[in-house]
Structure 1
């Protein structure tokens, strides 16, 4: 996904790879539906005998495509190009569509792992993951992590293994 296998170090294993939770796509999906319905209604109500009907329809379609791009396509691309990879040695956060930004937190530098969930997030199984490290950034807060409790438990286990000098529980 965001960390190719050939970038893993010797003995490093991929534990989990995932995107942000699908709830980030709810708003863009509703924008898509509303824009398509509004475009259809606008095209339907433009009178056929109006002398500028063709240009009116073209204007409606151009505006719809622009708004679909801004409100639906770009958020989808951001979601699709945001990835998290948890390996035995590091936690990698990769974001960006045209420009790529990658943060890697070595397991040996992680001090604290915590999670927060609202009531709705608990029902959806996602939440906010906070990772405090001894690195430059100090604290990284990532929202909309799917299966937050599993990710937090796995990350905590890997941090404990790294601090004990164990790899894969050995």
Structure 2
């Protein structure tokens, strides 16, 4: 289930859209596997007598574990970590939605943490420091966090270069118009110099 296209603004490109790493299922699957083993063992060994209630108990535990895995899968499918040409988007939830958006121009630093197991599996946490109110956001179970970090920083740099280039072009246009006014005699030399300083200092 990809990120809905209606979440993107005009001229906004989707660079990365990933679900959590499969390590996200570790706890629920870690409960389901013993529940399956117990269910099979008890069903084959218990046949009446005092322990007759155990098959029902094990079946109940197995059902709950299976439901937990199923629910985690639904949440996994509806959880997105996305990087666009303008921002970072994190969205999760099925019935109720929760989301975080960080404009690229506010991203100050990006780090990642991995335990030994996560490093082997290619999972980890991504930490984004931004100029917003929250300061730092942690995103868990990110696939290949070192690669995601690299891609994110590349987009931040492209965004900064684009904004700098736009401002440079805008300043050049304003100065060109101002110089035209001077040549036509619409403003004096002093007015020209004063307005020029305002444009360059802006």
Normalization by structure 1: what TM-score? 0.81
Alpha-carbon RMSD across the aligned residues, in angstroms, is 2.4
Structure 2 CA distance for partners of 1:67 and 1:118, relative to 1, 3 Å: closer
Higher strand proportion, which one?
Answer: 1
Q: Match of 1:129?
A: 126
User: Over alpha carbons, which structure has the higher Rg?
Assistant: 2
Specify every segment of 5 or more residues in structure 1 that has no aligned partner in the other structure, as ranges: none
What's the CA shift for 1:133?
1.2
What's the CA shift for 1:154?
0.9
Q: Match of 2:62?
A: 64
Say yes or no: does 1:159 pair with 2:156: yes
Residue-by-residue CA offset, 1:38-62 (whole Å, 9 max, x unaligned): 11222223325x5995x76445423
Provide the aligned length of Structure 1 versus Structure 2. Answer: 163
Q: How does 1:20-169 map to 2 (within 5 A)?
A: 20-48=20-48, 50=49, 57-70=55-68, 72-165=69-162
Higher helix proportion, which one?
Answer: 2
For residues 112 and 159 of structure 1, the distance between their equivalents in structure 2, rounded to whole angstroms, comes to 10
Range moving further from structure 2, 113-122 or 4-13 = 113-122
For residues 68 and 146 of structure 1, the distance between their equivalents in structure 2, rounded to whole angstroms, comes to 24
Q: Secondary structure at the match of 1:91?
A: strand
Higher RCO structure (Cα 8 Å, ≥6 apart): 1
